[in-house]
Structure 1
Amino acid sequence: MRTPPLLVCCGLATLDVVQVVDHVPAPDEKLVAGDLDVSFGGPAANAAATAVALGVPAVLVTALGAGPVADLVRAGLVAAGVEVVDLLAGRPGSPAVSTVLVTRSTGERAVVSVNATGAGDLRGAADAVVDQVLARATAVLVDGHHLGAARVVAAAAHTRGIPVLLDGGSWKPGLEALIAHVDHAVLSADLAFPGVAGDGVLDAVAELGPGFVAQSAGGGPVRIRATSADGVRTSSVLQPPDVPASEVVDTLGAGDVLHGATAAALARGVDVRAALAEGVLRASESVRHRGALGWASGPRGSSTVRPSR
């Protein structure tokens, strides 16, 4: 009998304050936003919620703590069906607040956030829960935030033969040590490997251990490096479906949807290339809707004010 799928995501959860504007303000300029949305965000959090929306149960290992912002984020995650394992449970804490400006005409977004810089070293907390968290896991996603905890979870999963996917949004000091425990890495177009440029980024990441490395390019082709068991490396390209600029509502969270849908497919036992193809299709659809999860919960272009989340 096949094991029921369960995705474990380890990484960042934030409170996102998203405002839709006609343009990003210039210095000293004040704007009136057309729409406001307040909800949880963060790569791992959005990936977990994406998996749940696709019918794959998900556990999010993150750092929230106790406080009003943490309560808002936790409530939103629970409402989305995500099980939360809080590495700061019982301690004061406040997730990062991300300020997001979405340009109405293009769907492009500008984001300001402190990310996970204030959470501290969470390796001990992760060690205490990792066996329980991975007991039923069929895939793991790490987003490069909370690096100490992510290394504990990824290393334990790798040892157990559970596939580990990296959401490589940006390079962070120490990321190479995490990548050593990763089976599949899907990188954003913005990831800058130190001292490496262009296609060399894919090969540099592959040298650190992952057998499958891909890099997205917005709506452009996804480049892939795959290394066989005997060390032969091949290159290929995955072409996303065309999304006309006139249909792009919001690019916020599209990368998180890509990684979450890919990880959900891996959790169901799908081959990594086919899983990535599923992720690309979901991400391409997501930009036609408002927010990271608009494709799953509302009509195209809808936006709501959700301060209770």
Structure 2
Amino acid sequence: MKNGLFIGMVTLDLIYLSPKLPGNNEKIAASDYTISAGGPATNGAVTFGYLGNRATLLSLLGTHPITQLIRGDVERYGITIADLDATVTNPPPISSIIVTGETGERAVISINAAKIQAGYDQIPSGIEAGIDIIMIDGHQMMVSGAIAKLAKSNHIPIVIDGGSWKPGFETVLPFVAYAICSANFYPPGCHNRAEVFAYLAEIGIPHIAITQGEKSIQYLSLGESGELPVPQIQAVDTLGAGDIFHGAFCHYILQENFTQALASAAKVAAYSCQFFGTRQWMAGFKN
């Protein structure tokens, strides 16, 4: 059993399954709904824990009554929450999500963690002790940069969830071993995937991958490039697939090589897309 530290955002996700998106001034009835904790680091931690590991989620949660729903969902899966500021009384970020039943595509409106940033002095002492891998989603950048530097000196591998470029990522990237990015991740000055690979490689990141949904994963590993196909499925819900991919990757990279871990993570993420919400897939998945 391995120990993972997941740094970033936690939200409360209100997820609705609908035949279509509503138009202006239109009300529609959802065919199903679910409520769960969300955010890249959160879903990654839950996945990592579900696959047989111990996960700690380092985020800013606070004491608003809504946080009890988040805590209940996360702790149900054995995840330890390390709160960066337990005195905060403001409500946590809440995401409203509509999943289109016919395609599995999702539309999301939310507030990110830009207004709830923690500082260096709020990092719990010794948080890195006994940790085997760290994942950073970019939503607590000051905290992430400090821990990344410490982790590098202690030879703890760092994975980034590069869903999109966020200011401050440049302070984290020099310490990263595995950059797993989406097709929407464009560092400053980058306009295509070749430029993204070149930018990250020049920083010194040894292993880089760009996911493209149902299309193949492009990678650059120790100077060797290639593509990996992903399982083709009929998607019911793509919400959280990238987060689940990152959590699964953190699990598999501790026992497989880079391309094998990418392929294994892709299988988990694809499987999860066949179920509504970000938790139902766990009921029948066999690792």
Do both share a fold (TM > 0.5)?
yes
Which residue of the other structure, out of 22, 32, 37, is the alignment partner of 1:25? Answer: 22
- Which of 265, 273, 283 aligns to 2:252? It is 265
**What are the Cα deviations for residues 158-183 of structure 1, in whole angstroms up to 9, with x where unaligned?**
11001100010111111111112211
Deviation sequence 1:180-199 (CA, Å, 0-9, x none) = 22111000122222321222
Contact 1:286–1:295 (CA<8 Å) still a contact in 2?
yes
* Aligned residue among 189, 203, 209 for 1:214: 209
For normalisation by structure 2, the TM-score amounts to: 0.94
- Contact 2:133–2:156 under 8 Å retained in 1: yes
The question of whether the paired residues in 1 share the 8 Å contact of 2:161 and 2:181 is answered with yes
Offset of 1:298 from its aligned partner? 5.9
Per-residue CA distance 1:41-69 (angstroms, 9 max, x = gap): 00000000001111111111011011112
1:252 aligns with 2:239: yes
Secondary structure of 1:68's partner?
Answer: coil
- The separation in 2 between residues aligned to 1:102 and 1:118, in whole angstroms, is 27
Residue 152 (structure 2) aligns with? 158
Task: Say whether 1:79 aligns with 2:76.
Answer: yes
User: Partners of 1:209 and 1:291 in 2: how far apart?
Assistant: 37
Q: Distance in 2 between matches of 1:212 and 1:298?
A: 31
Q: Provide the rounded CA distance (Å) in 2 between the counterparts of 1:27 and 1:195.
A: 37
CA RMSD of aligned residues (A): 1.5
- 1:280-299 equivalences in 2 (<5 Å): 280-297=266-283
Matched residue SS, 1:167: strand
In structure 2, the partner of 1:236 is 226
Q: Does the Cα contact within 8 Å between 1:171 and 1:192 map onto a contact in 2? A: yes
Does residue 223 in structure 1 map to residue 210 in structure 2?
no
Across the two proteins, how many residue pairs are aligned to each other? Answer: 284
CA distance in 1, matches of 2:259, 2:90: 39
Worse overlay, 175-184 or 40-49: 175-184
Structure 2: runs of 5+ lacking an equivalent: none
How far apart, CA to CA, are the structure 2 residues paired with 1:69 and 1:155? 33
Q: Following the alignment from structure 1 to structure 2, what is the Cα–Cα distance between the partners of residues 60 and 121?
A: 14
Tell me whether 78-87 or 194-203 shows the greater mean CA deviation.
Answer: 194-203
Q: Percent identity?
A: 33
Aligned structure 1 segments of 4 or more residues deviating by more than 3 angstroms = none
Corresponding position: 1:274 with 2:268: no
1:114 and 2:114 aligned: no
1:234 is aligned with what amino acid? Answer: E
Runs (5+) with no aligned partner, structure 1: 228-232, 300-309
Equivalent-residue separation in structure 1 for 2:102 and 2:232 (angstroms)? 18
Corresponding residue of 2:171: 177
Is this contact kept in 2: 1:10–1:153, CA < 8 A? Answer: no
TM-score (norm 1): 0.88
Is contact 2:142-2:168 (8 Å) kept? no
Range that drifts further, 190-199 or 275-284: 190-199
Q: Give the match for residue 140 of structure 1.
A: 134
